[in-house]
Amino acid sequence: MNAEINLAEKLGQKLPPQLVDFLQLAGRKAADRREKAYIVGGVVRDLLLGLDNYDIDLTVEGDAVALARYLMGSASDRITIHKQFNTAKIRWHDWNIDFVTARSETYASPGALPEITPSTLEADLKRRDFTINAMAIGLSGKSYGMLYDPCNGKRDLADKKIRILHDASFIDDSTRIWRGLRYEQRFGFELEPHTLQLLQRDIPMLDAISGERICYEIDCIFKEQYPEKVFKRADRLGVLNRFHPGVKFDMHTEERFSQARERCCPDSPSTLLYWLLLTYDLDIETKEAMISRLRLPKLIAQPLRDCSAVKDRLSLLAAPEIKPGEIYHLLFGYSLQAVLANIIATETEESRAALCLYMEKLHGVKAIITGSDLLEMGVTQGPLLKKMLGAILDARLNGKASSREDEIAIVRKMQAEGSK
């Protein structure tokens, strides 16, 4: 494999010095063991693009776990080993560095996870998704800084092309369909014509992928700066419909994504908020079907249901002269992200005002007096105590009580009325 370009200087300029020290150490330790270590994948791509990326993946021609152990010596508490995958992660200052043994992969059936055998760097690079992700930089001995680019990734970076490495790539692993669209839109590149043709041919293969793996890819898209670009492209190509039938990406959803960013600024919207907005127009039956098909975790599934329930209450929330206490009871218990999704998506100003009041103020309102205080005041356990707590909370919500004394007065009044 030819390696003529040396990126040692670029590594020194782009990566923090402590990280460069670590990489040099890893290279030396690998050489001690007569092994070779390389930086691979996204970091190499981003280094050539001049982008910051400190998520280092190291590939080792040898034994990655043994090298990680040897490298850290007695500081073994900073290594996490995944026996199942034979990989190691080292915590170094603020960074995580992944160690993986160079491997080749064979796919027993489409959608299945690959069978893995140790191999050379070249075979490891050639089993990857796209040429721009199939480059490595040497770390050991004289190869320090050398670029390994057996699939012409550097040329495709310059030409702004996303290209797969062989015609069965999307069949072997059709999550690469989503990945391809993500890189294309992130970098403003284009799927080169043959890759695009194969991608379109292999869209049906997405049905063989497990819900968990699809969700992972969708979450990765939500972490992009502009996820809507990826979904628009996916919609046009018919990929989005394979995510779940009925999901569309129209101009309303696009506008909601951009509003979500405005509302969450300076933070990024949570991936959950994007899930809620992507599925906002689906009816609850379609959402339930999606929850089962993708085996969505409860942390996503419940807010998806909440979002529909809040949407069903929008007209009640828009009632003229609705009281804060009523708003509270209509919304209490639902996920705040589901409330926020409705704030973004509703077209009724009155509903939005009620939702905002709940989100900004009401949901955190609490009475000062507790159940035990009421017991001490002589109220007996039972429905009356519950009624009193409800009345105090309502008075707080509706601005009729603002101190402990106000709340005690309500109790006394109810006690007096009760004894009549």
Residues in the site for ligand CTP, rule: CB under 6 A?
41-42, 55, 57, 128-129, 133-134, 173, 175-176, 179
Kindly state the smallest distance separating residue 289's Cβ from ligand CTP, in Å. 26
Which amino acid does the sequence have at 214? I
176 vs 242 by CB, closer to ligand CTP: 176
103 vs 352 by CB, closer to ligand CTP: 103
Q: What is the DSSP letter of 380?
A: P
Kindly state the smallest distance separating residue 60's Cβ from ligand CTP, in Å. 15
**Contact yes or no for 92/18 (Cβ under 8 A):** yes
Kindly state the smallest distance separating residue 273's Cβ from ligand CTP, in Å. 21
Q: Which two tokens stand for residue 141?
A: 């001995």
204 vs 371 by CB, closer to ligand CTP: 204
Q: Which two tokens stand for residue 206?
A: 């997405």
**Contact yes or no for 374/396 (Cβ under 8 A):** no
Q: Which two tokens stand for residue 154?
A: 């550097």
151 vs 310 by CB, closer to ligand CTP: 151
The 3-class SS string of 34-64 reads: CCEEEEECHHHHHHHHCCCCCCEEEEEECCH
182 vs 232 by CB, closer to ligand CTP: 182
**Contact yes or no for 114/106 (Cβ under 8 A):** yes
Q: What is the DSSP letter of 334?
A: S
Q: How far is 333 from 303, CA to CA, in rounded Å?
A: 11
Kindly state the smallest distance separating residue 345's Cβ from ligand CTP, in Å. 29
Q: Which residue is nearest to ligand CTP (CB)?
A: 42
Rg (CA), the chain: 28
Kindly state the smallest distance separating residue 217's Cβ from ligand CTP, in Å. 9
Q: Which two tokens stand for residue 46?
A: 């981003």
Kindly state the smallest distance separating residue 232's Cβ from ligand CTP, in Å. 19
Kindly state the smallest distance separating residue 56's Cβ from ligand CTP, in Å. 9
**Contact yes or no for 374/392 (Cβ under 8 A):** no
57 vs 156 by CB, closer to ligand CTP: 57
Kindly state the smallest distance separating residue 67's Cβ from ligand CTP, in Å. 19
Kindly state the smallest distance separating residue 41's Cβ from ligand CTP, in Å. 3
DSSP for 132-195 reads GG--EEE-SGGGTTBEE-TT-HHHHHHHTEE-BSSTTHHHH-THHHHHHHHHHHHHT-EE-HHH
Alpha helices in 33-120 (DSSP H): 42-49, 64-72
Alpha helices in 33-110 (DSSP H): 42-49, 64-72
**Contact yes or no for 67/56 (Cβ under 8 A):** no
- The partner residues of 82 in beta bridges, in order of sequence, read 87
188 vs 382 by CB, closer to ligand CTP: 188
Q: Which residue is listed with tokens 């403003």?
A: 188
Q: How far is 163 from 180, CA to CA, in rounded Å?
A: 9
